[in-house]
Structure formats: C-alpha cells, structure tokens
C-alpha cells in the first residue's frame, strides 16, 4: 500500500534543511567525515535487514546479489570519499594569464545546499544512498525519495535514516506518484534522478520550473559486440553473467548482442552452456532473482509475445527442463533470433533476462548501425583486434565502455558514472559526485601592484604600447 502523501510535511523538511544549510553553509571536514561515518555504521549494522527488505520487495533476490550489487559498492564509495575528502575540499590553483600576473586564480568547491535524490526500485539501496555519499562529502543536506515499487525497503530506509541523522542533515520521504511530482518540483540546489527515460523527462520538466539543475541516469539499450577476434567461450560466459545479474534488471545490463554473421548458432550454444553452469535450475533457485513486480513481469511477457508474433525465434534456456511457476515471477533466460526494428524489444530497454542476438557482416556496419541508434548508458566490446576495437570506440558515443566484460565499469569510484543523450546527462561517483554537488567557484586575487593599471584612462601612448604588446604576445 502506497503511503499517504502530506505536502506540508514535504515542504517543512525542505525548509528545515534549507535553513540549516544557511546557518552552516560550509561544514568543515570533521563534520563531513562524521556524517559519512554514521552512514557507514548504519549500513554495516543493518546489512542483513536491508537485504531481507529488498528481497521481500522483489519476491526473491539472492542476498549475495544485494551484497555484490549494492552493499559492497556503497561501503566502498563511503571509504573512498572519506579517504579523498581533504584533497577534494582543498582550493586548487589555476593558471593566470601573463598580462594579469602577479594576480592569481584558484577554485573553491562550495556546497550547493539541499540535494534531492529520486531512486528507482531495481537497486534501491545503492541508488538512494550512493548519490548521498557525494552530496554529504560535498557538505550538503540531502532529501531522498525512494521508489514506491519497493515499499518495504523504502519504509526501512526511512526508519534507518531517522535513527542516524537529524532531518536537517538527511531525510527520506516515502510516497507514490503524487509525492514524486511534488518532490521533483521542489527548488533543490541539485536533483539527481535514476530511472526510466519516460519518468526522467517528467522529472526534468518539473525541475525546470525552478531552474533546478538535474543529473539524469536513465540506462538505455546498451549493446554488446562480439568481434570475430573474440574468445567466444569466455565472452559468452561473461555476457551471461552480466545479463542475468539481478535477472537483467540493471540499467547497464547488455540489452542485445551483435555477432558476426554465421556465428549465431555457435553463440546460442555457448550461451546455453554458460547459463546452465550459472543456474542449473531456475524454478526455486535461491541464486536466481525474480522479476520485481507483476506489471514488469507482464511487460516482459508482452515483449516476447510481440516478437514471436512478428516472426522472431524465441529460445528459452531451461537447463533443468522445469515447468515454470508464474506465481514466482522467475522468467527463464530467453534468446531471440530474427529480431527486427519493428519489435517492441528492439524499441524499448528490455530490463530483464531476454537477449536478442543480431548478426552483422562487417565492423563498419556495426559502427554505422550504432550511430543511428540512441546513445546508450554503456557499450560492451569483446575481442582482441585492436584496429576493430578502436574503430568501434571512435565511431560510437556512449556513457561508458567496457572491453571484454560487462557491467563492472559501473561499480567503481575512480571513474564517473553517467549517460549521454537519452541515456542521461551529468555524472557522479567518486570525485565526479563531489563536484556534481558542489559549486566550483573561481576566485581571482589581485596583487598589490598590477600591470592592468596601465590600461586605465586617460588613454594615451602608454595604453597603446601595452595593448600592442598584449596583442603581439597573446
């Protein structure tokens, strides 16, 4: 049941955080470390209950996947931020043009104020608190709106945060669509949204009313390319692992795979074997994640039925030869041959354990085809031919690229996470998150004596001589 929505409470907490920030607009490193430490303690002490709540919302999600996908990356992000905080906060010297010397330039990174975070259901812990790590490290206050599609986790997150943080530092607001619309329209100093492109457009439109800057993480149809030079057995094992993590319900899951023409049956056979090793059975398997909601399960079935009706061949991988139990919402991994552009699964982000296999003739054809598509969150290339690899990298634009593996690029704090075009804009993780939630303010400090004084009126020979020197020396 969706919690009731109280708009006055939403506005009260926002004003409370805004006032707290105005009272302390530049918290020192000790305060920021304390907030990060409390966040770390909160997660480590309640890790088991967090995993249990998320699994209950999904129907079933392996504890190991929650640990790998969410708990470990989040704790690593906190430790990374704490360890680099002093350097990130330190003013940075910048070059000064020679005519203005001995004046100097520097950049001060200042907190923005109150940061809003809207998180989805598929990785509810990481995508709620991951952005909060950067926001707290940067000295901000944080308001979080978790997905109403993960109600047990949302309620538990709210209670946890209330126990470890006063509401003027961080607060969690639970509610449904009406709450989401009002939350998006608040005049945050920055708003980060993770989720679908359709909802992202609505969030961006609502935020535009108050000119709130927005970071959007939207996913998209991330392609995987198997080059003719690839180690096909190894590539398909890694592809299957990345695709079936969280049953494909990740924004960076490979959405479809491009293979050299003539290799389709070989790739199908290798993927069958890879899936069988990972999941010898599907029904009741504690290692295999269920589809999170009835509506999403029905959507995936509709994608398959649409593809079948339009002539595609569906290859269901059922290693244990089991009869599916619809009540479990466990969708068997399914390969699709003969997918065409008029099928829904080639028009929408799949977000499930369905993998179309598309043939190509030349690497140039791959680049031209991808250039006509929307720019994805990630692109995956498998092979050893450096010339083919570099041609694909140069001819495509995506949020990130992984070579000879997939998904792992998204779990690091030393590189940014961010989409491009319809897969999002802006980036965070590590120092990029710190910067996203900071104002990098340039400060110009004039020296006691400045040659710029020679450019003051009354204009005459001195001015003309200095101006000519500047023009000549650049």
For residue range 209-238, what is the model confidence (pLDDT) as tens digits? 999 999 999 989 999 999 999 999 999 999
Taking the C-alpha atoms of residue 47 and residue 58, their distance in angstroms, rounded to an integer, is 17
What φ, ψ does residue 245 adopt, rounded to 5°? -60, 125
Cα dihedral across residues 262, 267, 270, 272: positive or negative: negative
Positions of the chain with pLDDT under 70: 1-5
Whether 464 is in a domain gets the answer no
The verdict on 76 and 188 lying in the same domain is yes
The whole-number pLDDT of residue 4 equals 59
Percent of the chain whose pLDDT exceeds 90: 92
- Please report, for the domain that includes residue 112, its CATH number: 3.40.605.10
The whole-number pLDDT of residue 1 equals 47
The verdict on 321 and 274 lying in the same domain is yes
| Domains: count for the chain | 2
The verdict on 287 and 396 lying in the same domain is yes
Partners of 239 in beta bridges: none
Q: What is the pTM of this model?
A: 0.95
Dig out the tokens for 87 from the structure: 């350097």
User: Cβ(268)–Cβ(422) under 8 Å?
Assistant: no
Condensed to tens digits (0 to 9), the pLDDT of residues 131-143 reads 999 999 999 999 9
The verdict on 55 and 150 lying in the same domain is yes
Q: Which domain holds residue 66?
A: 7-218+425-440
Condensed to tens digits (0 to 9), the pLDDT of residues 13-44 reads 999 999 999 999 999 999 999 999 999 999 99
The verdict on 164 and 248 lying in the same domain is no
**Residue 332, C-beta contacts closer than 8 angstroms, at least 6 positions apart:** 282, 316, 317, 318, 324, 353
The whole-number pLDDT of residue 326 equals 77
The verdict on 295 and 211 lying in the same domain is no
Residue located via tokens 């430790």: 79
- Please report, for the domain that includes residue 250, its CATH number: 3.40.309.10
Whether 471 is in a domain gets the answer no
């Amino acid at each position: 049941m969706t919690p009731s929505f109280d708009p006055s409470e939403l506005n009260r907490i926002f004003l409370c955080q805004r006032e707290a920030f105005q009272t302390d607009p530049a918290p020192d490193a000790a305060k920021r470390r304390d907030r990060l430490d409390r966040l770390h303690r909160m997660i480590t002490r309640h890790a088991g209950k967090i995993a249990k709540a998320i699994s209950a919302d999904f129907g079933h999600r392996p504890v190991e996947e929650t640990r790998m996908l969410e708990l470990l990356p989040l704790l690593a992000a906190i430790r990374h931020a704490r360890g680099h905080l002093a350097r990130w906060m330190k003013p940075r010297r910048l070059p000064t043009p020679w005519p203005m010397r001995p004046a100097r330039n520097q950049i001060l990174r200042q907190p923005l104020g109150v940061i809003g975070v809207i998180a989805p259901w598929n990785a509810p812990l990481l995508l709620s608190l991951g952005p909060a790590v950067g926001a707290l490290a940067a000295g901000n206050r944080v308001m979080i709106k978790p997905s109403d599609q993960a109600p047990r986790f949302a309620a538990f997150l709210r209670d946890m945060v209330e126990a470890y943080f006063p509401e003027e530092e961080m607060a969690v607001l639970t509610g449904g669509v009406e709450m989401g619309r009002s939350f998006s329209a608040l005049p945050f100093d920055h708003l980060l949204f993770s989720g679908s492109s359709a909802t992202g457009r609505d969030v961006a439109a609502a935020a535009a009313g108050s000119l709130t800057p927005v970071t959007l993480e939207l996913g998209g149809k991330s392609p995987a390319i198997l080059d003719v030079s690839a180690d096909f057995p190894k590539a398909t094992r890694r592809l299957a692992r990345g695709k079936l993590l969280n049953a494909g319900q990740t924004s960076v899951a490979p959405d479809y795979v491009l293979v050299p023409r003539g290799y389709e049956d070989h790739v199908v056979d290798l993927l069958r074997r890879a899936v069988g090793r990972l999941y010898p059975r599907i029904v009741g398997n504690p290692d295999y994640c269920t589809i999170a909601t009835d509506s999403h399960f029905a959507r995936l079935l509709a994608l398959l039925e649409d593809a079948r009706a339009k002539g595609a061949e569906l290859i269901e991988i059922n290693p244990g030869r089991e009869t599916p139990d619809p009540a479990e919402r466990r969708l068997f991994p399914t390969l699709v041959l003969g997918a065409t552009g008029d099928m829904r699964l080639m028009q929408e982000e799949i977000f499930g354990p369905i993998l179309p296999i598309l043939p190509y003739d030349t690497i140039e054809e791959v680049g031209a085809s991808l250039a006509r598509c929307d720019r994805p969150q990630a692109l995956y290339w498998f092979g050893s031919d450096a010339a083919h690899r570099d041609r694909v990298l140069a001819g495509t634009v995506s949020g990130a690229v992984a070579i000879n593996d997939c998904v792992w690029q998204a779990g690091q704090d030393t590189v940014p996470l961010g989409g491009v075009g319809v897969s999002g804009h802006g980036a965070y993780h590590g120092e990029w998150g710190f910067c996203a939630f900071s104002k990098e303010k340039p400060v110009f400090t004039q020296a006691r004596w400045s040659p710029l004084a020679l450019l003051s009126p009354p204009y005459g020979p001195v001015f003309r001589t200095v101006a000519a020197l500047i023009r000549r020396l650049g």
